[in-house]
Structure 1
Amino acid sequence: MSTNESPEQTHVVVLHSSRPLDTDLARTYPEHRVTVLTDGPPVVVGEDLSPPDTVSMPRSEWHDQLARWARGGPVEVVTFDEDCVQTCDELRAALGLGPRPSEKV
């Protein structure tokens, strides 16, 4: 756990596959730990954005990884990548998170 995390801090996991990430995750989720979970190439971000913490693994392993993170505290699963919308909805349902939030946690 890094120094800016607390046990009650929500871990926002952003699912990613192929689209460049043009959302400033630190600004969108300023009070949360944010990790990008990708099955694609290294996350490409806009030129004014800092690269986010990223974990790369096959999509078939995402559920198990999210379950591990959920055991450590609250987890929110979102996506800004159209290629991940269905997977995001399925993983949210499997983790009991309900409908995907429209914008922020």
Structure 2
Amino acid sequence: MSTNESPEQTHVVVLHSARPLEVDPSDTYPEHRITVLTDGPPVEVAKDLERPDTVSMPRSEWHDQLVRWARGGPIEVVTFDEDCALICTELRATLGLDEGAPT
């Protein structure tokens, strides 16, 4: 999976915690830069998929990291992990992102 970086390109950040990804985020968001933000070990992010760009840090630091990325251009925050559904909703709200976007 490759991530092409461009200022006009939306940076899709996939929040992750416990469940390995079963869907390749680049299939869901083919035209966007993808980064997985996890509070677990990066090697646990994808089971049978090529591991996407991954940043591992405590959840308490996620908001500040997302703000830094948002300064660089459009950002979208999503999750495929039930353990991250609530924090995804909260972070989207604090970043001013639409409520209706997929989580």
Q: TM-score, normalised by structure 2?
A: 0.90
Paired residue total? 101
Correspondences of 1:2-41 after superposition (within 5 Å): 4-41=4-41
Q: How does 1:25-104 map to 2 (within 5 A)?
A: 25-42=25-42, 43-47=44-48, 49-102=49-102
- Aligned equivalents of 1:37 and 1:60: distance in 2? 12
Distance 1:56 1:3 in 2: 18
Q: Which amino acid aligns with 1:36?
A: V
Q: Which runs of 5+ in 2 are unaligned?
A: none
Q: Distance in 2 between matches of 1:82 and 1:8?
A: 30
How much does 1:100 deviate? Answer: 4.7
Alpha-carbon shift at residue 41 of structure 1 (Å): 2.4
Residue identity in the other structure for 2:45: V
Q: Equivalents in 2 of 1:18, 1:100: separation in Å?
A: 24
CA distance, structure 2, for counterparts of residue 96 and residue 10 of structure 1: 15
Q: Distance in 2 between matches of 1:14 and 1:4?
A: 16
CA contact (8 A) 1:18 1:41 kept: no
Indicate the percent of aligned positions where both proteins have the same amino acid. Answer: 74
Q: Could you tell me which runs of 5 or more consecutive residues in structure 1 were left unpaired when the two chains were aligned.
A: none
CA contact (8 A) 2:17 2:39 kept: yes
Alpha carbons of 1:57 and 1:100: their partners in 2 closer, same or farther (altered >3 Å)? farther
Computed over aligned residues only, the root mean square deviation of the Cα atoms, in angstroms, reads 1.8
In 1, Cα distance between equivalents of 2:94 and 2:63: 8
